[in-house]
Structure 1
Amino acid sequence: MSKRKKRRSSNNWWLILIVAILGMFLKGNDVHQVTNNLLNQVMPQNTQTTKSVTDSQLSQLTFKSGDPAYIYVNHNRSTLNPKDWKTNRIDYGNLDRLNRTTQATGYLSRANLVKSSTRTSQTWNPTGWHQKRVRINGRSVEIQNRGHLLAYSVTGKFDQNGNFNPRKLGSLDNPKNLATQTAFSNQQTMQIFEERVRDALAKNKRVIYRVSTVFKGNDLMPIGYHSEAISTDGSLNFNVFIWNVQPGVRFDYTTGRSRVDRTMTVSQN
């Protein structure tokens, strides 16, 4: 490794350490702003490998109660190349040695929109799956979901291998597209960005949409999801890290087990 690369790598890890230390003293929007500023220095401007340096660095972060539900990566600008869109398909990453979901990249058009009402039940249990129902703020909540990396509603007419097939509905019970996700992350935070993708497709845009699971070490439940998308005309463009957290609940990401903790809060961005 060249001296320049060693120096850059060392600087990146120092920045991550600074983020962790500041998180002990700052809260809410202060952490959000400082983290974004430092992450924007750490993140590379272009990712070319399946498991990018960006995801590896994101795995070093730790959520603190009161932090925002998501943070911007690379100034909220996607690193995907819109010129790579050639035909409708989904590239699913293989499960890793721990049987964990890795990544899914969709090359999407309006033809891939499908109504959520056509979904059927799913039985695949992703790693870290320990479902239970708890009461949060007076409501009974199933705190874990079988969360799609690429939303069912944008995966119409693809088979389980990601090939275009007009006779198929959408991605269902596909181990390569499901991970253990909190109800809050799946139904609220992730929805923000899935809706942006759906809106772009409804306007007849062509979109490249990638979501990666981010794990710490050998954890079985992801700490978050790196989500980015870009349309071929550039009108859609985002790059975010979505925390896999649930207000009122603490998760042991090593196993996916959880306990009620009413001091656990998530601020809205």
Structure 2
Amino acid sequence: MSWLLAIMVVVLLVLSAFVLPKNLFKKKLSKKQQKIISSLFVLGLVALALYVEPSQTNDPGGEGSQSQTTSSSQEDRASGQAENPFPKESQASPNAQHSDEEVQALREEIHHSIPQVPEGQTFLVVNNNVPLFTSSELELTRPYANYGDLDFLQRVTGAEGLLGVELMPDDAREPLTSVTPTGWRQRSYVNVPGGWLYNRCHLIGYQLTGENANSKNLMTGTRWFNTEGMLPIENYVAAYLEETNHHVRYRVTPVFNQFNQLASGVYMEGYSIEDQGQVQFHIFVPNRQPGITIDYLTGESQGPAGPQTSGDLSP
């Protein structure tokens, strides 16, 4: 429509240019000519106003900016730009006033507890989103990844490292069926996307280190826990590493209640080194599946439709 209005403006101005000069030198205009000139003048003003109005409504904060915002976010994803999954109000700066001993004591206290996460919420922000790394743990060194030894019940104990693009793999992930983590009582349910309840979940995602079928890095986790809880955080960190070539101090700590074979969830911590925490998080991700009741002592489960199939055929 804007181009039609533009043409109208031009036509009216041209007509005015031909009519007006001829009458400027006359002492008196006829009533018919006065009406023509007045009409042209009014129509020109109306057309000009209509033509200008759309450009004035293109406000970045208004409804007209919706398509522009969508296009911008699509370009960001296409270029690999990291999308921060954390609400802005949860961001906080590390508290440098605490000693390393105090930081370690607080970490032990928090990471031995199992917080209550509201239903439907994929993670819970912990300690105001401030990770509990000591000053020495935040020093920039060569990238690495360490995996804790299995405990006396053969359960995973944790993984940590300094992540960078130097560790990221080029090859696709191989199958994980050679590892059977504790609590692996696989069932298929009609109300679970993809059917299978459990995944073999990496403590530190394969895309970050290339570590694959390592029993110290694999735990039994629900599909929801893996794809909705941990994966968005891993994608966020991976995108940041690729964009910046910076490094992220990273730690994942599973939590088991007493002698349970299935973890209740994991604590995830991250802090980017070169930019002093542009990437920063400390969260708890619950290991659960909506609509499924799980016995964490054994890993057995029940759903509305009941177990359909058992086996070790899932990822």
Q: TM-score scaled by structure 2? A: 0.59
Dislocated runs of 4+, deviation >3 Å: 44-47, 61-64
Matching residue of 1:166: none
Q: Which amino acid aligns with 1:146?
A: R
Distance 2:169 2:189 in 1: 31
CA contact (8 A) 1:113 1:201 kept: no
Tell whether 2:108 aligns with 1:55.
Answer: no
Distance 2:111 2:299 in 1: 20
Tell whether 2:277 aligns with 1:247.
Answer: no
Equivalence map 1:86-101=2 (5 Å): 86-101=141-156
CA contact (8 A) 1:229 1:238 kept: yes
Distance 2:122 2:194 in 1: 21
CA contact (8 A) 1:180 1:221 kept: yes
Stretches of structure 1 lacking an aligned partner (at least 5 in a row) = 1-35, 37-43, 156-169, 263-269
Matching residue of 1:207: 248
Distance 2:258 2:141 in 1: 35
Task: Report the secondary structure of 1:126's partner residue.
Answer: coil
Equivalence map 1:105-254=2 (5 Å): 105-114=160-169, 118-122=172-176, 123-136=178-191, 139-155=193-209, 170-202=210-242, 203-232=244-273, 233=275, 234-254=277-297
Distance 1:74 1:63 in 2: 14
- Greater shift, 101-110 or 144-153, is seen at 101-110
Q: Which has the larger radius of gyration?
A: 2
Name the Cα RMSD after superposition: 2.4
CA contact (8 A) 1:250 1:259 kept: yes
Q: Which amino acid aligns with 2:181?
A: P
Per-residue CA distance 1:157-176 (angstroms, 9 max, x = gap): xxxxxxxxxxxxx2111011
Q: TM-score scaled by structure 1? A: 0.69
CA displacement at 1:47 relative to structure 2: 3.7
Distance 1:256 1:47 in 2: 33
Change (3 A) 1:87 1:78: same
CA displacement at 1:254 relative to structure 2: 0.4
Identity %: 31
Distance 1:47 1:145 in 2: 33
Q: Which amino acid aligns with 2:265?
A: G
The answer to which structure has the higher strand fraction is 1
Between 1 and 2, higher relative CO (CA 8 Å, sep ≥ 6) is seen in 1
CA displacement at 1:261 relative to structure 2: 4.2
Figure out how many residues of one structure are paired with residues of the other and give that number.
Answer: 201
Tell whether 2:129 aligns with 1:79.
Answer: no
Stretches of structure 2 lacking an aligned partner (at least 5 in a row) = 1-89, 91-97, 306-315
The answer to which structure has the higher helix fraction is 2
Q: Which amino acid aligns with 1:88?
A: P
